[in-house]
Structure 1
Amino acid sequence: MTGVLAQEREPVTTSGTIAVMNLHAQIDGLAVRLSRPATAQAQGTRWAVTQGAALVDLLNLRGHLLGRVADYEQAAELAERLVRAAPEDGTALLARARTRATLHRFAEAAADLGAAGPGGADEAVLDAERAVVLQALGCYAEAVALIHTAGQRQSDFTTLGALAVLHAERGETTEAERLFDEARRHYRGTSPFPLAQLDFRRGVMWHREGDLDAARSSYEAARRRVPGYAPALGHLAEVELLRGAFHAAVDLLRPLTRTSDDPEYAAHLAAALHAVGRVHEAKQWRERAAARYDDLVLRHPEAYADHAADFWLTVGADAGRGLHLALQNLAFRQTDRARALFQRAVLAQNRVAQAAA
């Protein structure tokens, strides 16, 4: 079977459950210290920026791991305050660039990265962040060059993992598999989060390729590493839906709808409930997802137009709205995935028009 995880040396890390608890504690502790005016005044602006940037990174991490849009928004607000307090500080600008990239505001993120260099930010870190932005925009050759440049001053795991994800996005699965394996062999940390993220991205690659067994194996590996890892659980539920295991999908998704404010999980739960005949409950979750997507598209269109388009083309059953959002997403970035979503929406709208005729 393709996509089987390497078993040569399984890295030993901290328990994922304990690591998440520690992450909560770190965030709470930093937030308390930064909220004390006397401490901030005594330590000075540079201390506040450094500590604030660390909190931004932790909030972004928790937002990803637990599927919490509120964490992304809190990180973005904090980063804006840091830049207002120190407009030329490279650490503050780098923090804001990361929050903007997370919310897919790529042009603004690139501008911040450009300004962060003269402000004292590390060039290897900036190159790695620029590569992330370029990759998201489909500029793969430029991204590869920057990853290699940054790799001269970063860990082998970081470089190999970034290259693995890039080749995975391009559909170059053989090279991506080699790099995923190589990255795991070079991991020397104790945190479970980087490995869980690596396994998740590997799963996404096989999911897109249609190898559901390989995708399921990778998602399960990420789940074992960090039991509450929302993206892995959500994608695992998608695999179960595709395999017809609707009750298993419901069991995976229910806990996510309690801990995450991302409407994707509510939408998938609606589909799973509908498939097992619980139509009234499915309708409630569909309406909840629709309202949440409407809110997020208004506040963060670059980040959620594509997800909302997919919702309306599937669970939402409104091809017209799906087409509008797919076109909006295509205006933000002309990637292969954005074009494929737009073509899907056009075909769906054409089917609706033909049925009406």
Structure 2
Amino acid sequence: MGGNVAAADRTSDGEIPDLAGGCATTAGVIAMGNLHARIEGLTGQATRGSLTGAGWDELVELTALRGHVLGRIDEAERAASLAEMFVDRSPGDPRARVARARLAARFHRFSAALADLDAAAAMGLERRRLDEERAAVHQAVGRYDEALAAHRRALSERRGFSALAALARWHAECGEAAEAERWFVAARRGYRGVSPFPLAELECQCGQVWLSAGDLARARLWLDEAVRRLPPYAPARGRLAGIDAVRGGTAGVIGRLRRLARDSDDPHYAAQLAGVLADGQAWSEARFWRARAADHYELLVARHPEAYADHAAEFWLTVGGDPERALRLSLQNLALRPTPRARALVSRARNRVGESRQI
């Protein structure tokens, strides 16, 4: 699935990219304040009935963004509800369909997302924007060739940040860490905005690539940059805490994870904290956070089975200690997303089930 698509700005294999300097963006604390204020203003307009189509589009996008940054699933759910309201109020506006498609994809309802994108196309929305959205869905379900074709078209039409970042994510999904990083570096160099959000997300994604590849030092380089740029960014903070836990910095890690677990409604952080506490033999508190994570995963799988089957499977496979349940959920996820990552999760669960039955 790999191979070069075009010449990206390259670092040689094994060479650590220089992330210092450049890419100056608005300070993260200011950007977050502006985000909160803008959402509040748009929400007020929606309440008064004076919000335009463009305003609805922005409100959905910014609410989803805030949920992503802060690790708040309830904000993503609110964004999905707002997208439904946008479609109800403007059924002929293709932007409403794209907004709803994006949130459907966020919750892994991929067929619904593609149906809305088809509806937006029938309403006359430009192909380039729809290609980008469709490619993201195709990539999520393992249709890599179709996604790559769309990424190639986008890059041939405009070698900008979005096209470069999309190719980076494609290589990352294919497990090609070094090639993904080259495209991430190219996208970072091509960024011309001042908002820290797109760059922090990109830097976090590259950090995750190296985490998956087992290169903790390189992962930390990128994740540190994401947190420096956007200090409240929960996904990057959680991954950094995981790296520090592996390296033995348990005391500081526990405090950071407690804050994440309390501030976020994503049970991943509670599960992560429970694991670190158990490693440190703090059994009582570990049981508390494990139970909290288990309860939240139960609720999320009931509400959004497509989106949280894999996350819940990972929990039950590790901290949750129920490989049989993990296997059921991982198979459910594989049926929806026949990707290498989904197959690897099923394989791990099967191995653990086999081990547990031999005890």
- What TM-score comes out, normalization by structure 2 length? 0.92
Residue in 2 that maps onto 1:188? 192
Q: CA deviation at 1:142?
A: 1.2
Q: Which of 76, 83, 92 pairs up with 1:79?
A: 83
Q: Please tell me whether residue 293 in structure 1 is matched to residue 305 in structure 2.
A: no
Residue in 1 that maps onto 2:208? 204
Structure 1 window deviating more from structure 2 (313-322 vs 49-58): it is 49-58
- 1:252-273 per-position Cα deviation (integer Å, ceiling 9, x unaligned): 2122122211000010011111
CA RMSD of aligned residues (A): 1.6
| Residue type of the alignment partner of 1:283 | R
Query: What is the CA–CA distance in structure 1 between the aligned matches of 2:135 and 2:101, rounded to whole Å?
Result: 13
Q: Which of 242, 248, 252 pairs up with 1:238?
A: 242
Contact map agreement 2:141 2:336 (CA 8 A) in 1: no
Query: What is the CA–CA distance in structure 2 between the aligned matches of 1:315 and 1:205, rounded to whole Å?
Result: 23
Contact map agreement 1:57 1:95 (CA 8 A) in 2: yes
Q: Which of 24, 27, 32 pairs up with 2:39?
A: 27
Q: Which of 102, 111, 115 pairs up with 2:115?
A: 111
Structure 1 residues 3 and 246, CA gap change in structure 2 (3 angstroms) = farther
SS at match of 2:338: coil
Query: What is the CA–CA distance in structure 2 between the aligned matches of 1:93 and 1:172, rounded to whole Å?
Result: 33
Q: Which of 219, 223, 226 pairs up with 2:223?
A: 219
Structure 1 window deviating more from structure 2 (235-244 vs 199-208): it is 235-244
Q: CA deviation at 1:163?
A: 0.6
Q: Aligned runs of 1:59-70 on 2, under 5 Å?
A: 59-70=63-74
| Residue type of the alignment partner of 1:27 | I
Residue in 1 that maps onto 2:138? 134
Report percent identity of matched pairs.
Answer: 49
Structure 1 residues 88 and 151, CA gap change in structure 2 (3 angstroms) = farther
Q: Please tell me whether residue 102 in structure 1 is matched to residue 106 in structure 2.
A: yes
| Residue type of the alignment partner of 1:22 | N
Q: Which of 19, 22, 25 pairs up with 1:13?
A: 25
| Residue type of the alignment partner of 1:196 | A
- What TM-score comes out, normalization by structure 1 length? 0.93
Q: CA deviation at 1:121?
A: 2.6
Residue in 1 that maps onto 2:4? none
Query: What is the CA–CA distance in structure 2 between the aligned matches of 1:326 and 1:27, rounded to whole Å?
Result: 36
Query: What is the CA–CA distance in structure 1 between the aligned matches of 2:14 and 2:283, rounded to whole Å?
Result: 37
| Residue type of the alignment partner of 2:42 | L
Contact map agreement 2:138 2:146 (CA 8 A) in 1: yes
Query: What is the CA–CA distance in structure 2 between the aligned matches of 1:236 and 1:333, rounded to whole Å?
Result: 27
Residue in 2 that maps onto 1:121? 125
Query: What is the CA–CA distance in structure 2 between the aligned matches of 1:81 and 1:299, rounded to whole Å?
Result: 19
Residue in 2 that maps onto 1:312? 316
Query: What is the CA–CA distance in structure 2 between the aligned matches of 1:167 and 1:346, rounded to whole Å?
Result: 27
Structure 1 window deviating more from structure 2 (82-91 vs 210-219): it is 82-91
Runs of at least 4 residues of structure 1 off by over 4 A?
152-155
Q: CA deviation at 1:326?
A: 0.9
Q: Aligned runs of 1:24-63 on 2, under 5 Å?
A: 24-37=36-49, 39=50, 47=52, 49-63=53-67
Structure 1 residues 123 and 290, CA gap change in structure 2 (3 angstroms) = same
Q: Aligned runs of 1:237-256 on 2, under 5 Å?
A: 237-256=241-260
Q: CA deviation at 1:201?
A: 0.8
Q: Aligned runs of 1:155-170 on 2, under 5 Å?
A: 156-170=160-174
Query: What is the CA–CA distance in structure 1 between the aligned matches of 2:102 and 2:319, rounded to whole Å?
Result: 31
Q: CA deviation at 1:152?
A: 5.0
Q: CA deviation at 1:3?
A: 7.0
| Residue type of the alignment partner of 1:54 | E
Residue in 2 that maps onto 1:173? 177
Structure 1 residues 111 and 178, CA gap change in structure 2 (3 angstroms) = same
| Residue type of the alignment partner of 1:137 | V
How many equivalent pairs are there? 347
Q: Please tell me whether residue 258 in structure 1 is matched to residue 270 in structure 2.
A: no
Q: CA deviation at 1:2?
A: 4.1
Query: What is the CA–CA distance in structure 1 between the aligned matches of 2:92 and 2:159, rounded to whole Å?
Result: 28
Residue in 2 that maps onto 1:43? none
Contact map agreement 1:16 1:226 (CA 8 A) in 2: yes
SS at match of 1:117: helix
Query: What is the CA–CA distance in structure 1 between the aligned matches of 2:173 and 2:247, rounded to whole Å?
Result: 23
Structure 1 window deviating more from structure 2 (65-74 vs 151-160): it is 151-160
Contact map agreement 1:247 1:272 (CA 8 A) in 2: no
